[in-house]
Structure 1
């Protein structure tokens, strides 16, 4: 992979993540931005695009960090099978934490079952993307792709999870999820061009 491709990944991910997050941000607060006139809408749009760009940068840092962690994990375990088992254990652990710790922090009067919705939806989305990645590359890419899409996305999402504001949950998740998906599915396509 040459520097031109790295720059392409960076700028295209930043653009796609910013636009997706900005769109969701405007839609979540449509009354606030549309009700104040054109200047208010324009300032709100710039604000949402800027916030989404920052969240997309978090996604990019997470992606390149995972590429390093994945190679490091393979080197330490010396076996794909062992590294895959470790990743599965971490996936289960993060799923449990995403349910339990949010319930302990925010859901004392709610049912714990309602706190399964977000982790389950994220996990199902991660399964779909991992399946696509494995189909387009090889079966060995499934577990690393699932780990990246679920665990790394959750780690990147922690600042919004701590706040527990529905708008921030979706505003923060959208550029991260779109950015992670785009980077993961783009990487092997750029390698094929070599």
Structure 2
């Protein structure tokens, strides 16, 4: 990827992280009865939070691209590497349920509350993987599903440990939107770069 394309991806992803964090932060916890200065201070905090998770998202994205290449090199086959990724998807989704349940479950809590999040992430990942396939090829399905589920959950771990509803959603929404944007933009940027290459004489 060319520097110009990388800068475009970085800046636009950063903006998505910031805007989504501000939106979620104001919806979930609007600072009522606060002065204008306090409101601006709160918004600046949300900007920092969104920018931070946007950077987490971008680090995870490029880390996965590297790991994906290593995986293909080690297993020498898309089918075998896809199988490994499917196993990891199942393990991480189960761990998300099991670890949260064993760590934060209280008497009277419904187990459904701990199943919904992993299930919702899986469904969302399947939808994005389907869209990626429609835009590229069938080969992209498992890598996209893996990135949207496994990588997003790993990036989400710092706030998962707190089990605070506000922090959970303020971390999750920017991460998921940034990851979705990056995985769906990658092939477009690569195609654009390839179209600009001079034809060899």
Smaller-chain TM-score range?
over 0.9
Residue 75 of structure 1 corresponds to 73
Q: Structure 2 CA distance, aligned partners of 1:49 and 1:35?
A: 21
User: 1:78-97 alignment to 2 at 5 Å?
Assistant: 78-97=76-95
Gaps of 5+ in 1: none
Q: Report what 1:14 is aligned to.
A: 14
Counterpart position of 1:125:
124
Aligned to 2:145: 146
Q: CA RMSD in A?
A: 0.9
SS of 2:161's equivalent in the other structure is helix
Q: Single out whichever of 182-191 and 38-47 deviates more from structure 2.
A: 38-47
Between the aligned partners of 1:186 and 1:170, the Cα distance in structure 2 is: 24
Aligned structure 1 segments of 4 or more residues deviating by more than 3 angstroms: none
Of residues 44, 47, 51 in structure 1, which corresponds to 2:45? 47
- Aligned position for 1:26: 26
Q: Counterpart of 1:163 in 2: which secondary structure?
A: coil
Q: Which residue of 2 aligns with 1:184?
A: 183
Residues paired across the two proteins, number: 192
Contact kept, 8 Å, 1:26 with 1:44, in 2: the verdict is: no
Q: Tell me how far 1:154 sits from its aligned partner.
A: 0.3
User: How much has 1:161 moved relative to structure 2?
Assistant: 0.9
Q: TM-score, normalised by structure 2?
A: 0.93
SS at match of 1:34: coil
Cα separation, 1, equivalents of 2:142 and 2:153: 16
Q: Does structure 2 conserve the Cα–Cα contact (< 8 Å) formed by 1:84 and 1:143?
A: yes
What is the alpha-carbon distance in structure 1 between the residues aligned to residue 156 and residue 144 of structure 2?
Answer: 17
Shift of 1:108: 4.0
Question: How far does residue 40 in structure 1 lie from its aligned partner after superposition?
Answer: 1.6
Question: 1:101: Cα distance to partner?
Answer: 0.8
Q: Which moved more, 1:100-109 or 1:86-95?
A: 100-109
Task: For residue 160 of structure 1, report the CA deviation from its aligned partner.
Answer: 1.1
Q: Which has the larger radius of gyration?
A: 2
From the two aligned structures, give the one with the greater helix fraction: 1
Q: Which residue of 2 aligns with 1:35?
A: 33
